[in-house]
């Protein structure tokens, strides 16, 4: 079986929610996508520190509209599950380019402001990793 896109996640969850995230994501996918679309969900990680790596394989490079819909629905679900479980939207691989808008799901406004102060101290011109790590106002 061939798949097109891989949606990859690196979240941190309490051990009580660790396995539940994968199971609930599979349930969400089965309720929101037809059975024949063959979306495959796998999860693995570090149970000791709660880092969960999830990979969701979405079929077809040729159906960009479907892939975009799948990404938006699944991404929102996983980020909200993580927020509601009091987890972190990024465990060890960083916020990067795709997740700054979700940083507030696991960090308070005060924490984000402190992070911005530290970043600005080292990068006052904003040239190091622009548009990554922190949300831009």
Could you state, in order of their start, the residue ranges of all structural domains in the chain? Answer: 5-84
Whole-number Å distance between alpha carbons of 109 and 97: 19
The CATH number for 5-84, chosen from 3.40.190.170, 3.90.226.10, 3.30.70.2740, 2.102.10.10, is 3.30.70.2740
More confident: 107 or 135: 107
In this predicted structure, which of 26-30, 63-67, 76-80, 99-103 has the lowest mean pLDDT?
Answer: 63-67
**Strand partners of residue 11:** 52
More confident: 108 or 91: 108
Tokens standing for residue 76: 């929102």
Residue range 15-25: average pLDDT? 89
Whether residue 1 is predicted with pLDDT greater than 60 in this model: the reply is: no
Q: For residue 107, what are the CA distances in angstroms to 1, 27, 46, 87, 111? A: 39, 27, 22, 10, 6
């Amino acid at each position: 079986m061939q798949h097109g896109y891989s949606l990859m996640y690196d979240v941190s969850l309490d051990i009580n929610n660790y396995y539940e995230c994968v199971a609930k994501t599979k349930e969400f996918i089965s309720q929101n996508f037809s059975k024949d679309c063959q979306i495959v969900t796998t999860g693995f990680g570090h149970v000791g520190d709660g880092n969960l790596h999830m990979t969701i394989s979405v079929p077809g490079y040729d159906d960009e509209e479907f892939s975009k819909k799948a990404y938006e629905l699944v991404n929102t679900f996983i980020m909200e599950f993580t927020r509601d479980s009091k987890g972190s939207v990024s465990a060890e691989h960083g916020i990067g380019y795709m997740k700054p808008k979700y940083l507030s799901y696991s960090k308070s406004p005060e924490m984000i402001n402190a992070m911005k102060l530290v970043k600005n101290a080292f990068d006052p011109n904003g040239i190091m990793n622009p548009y990554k790590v922190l949300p831009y106002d």
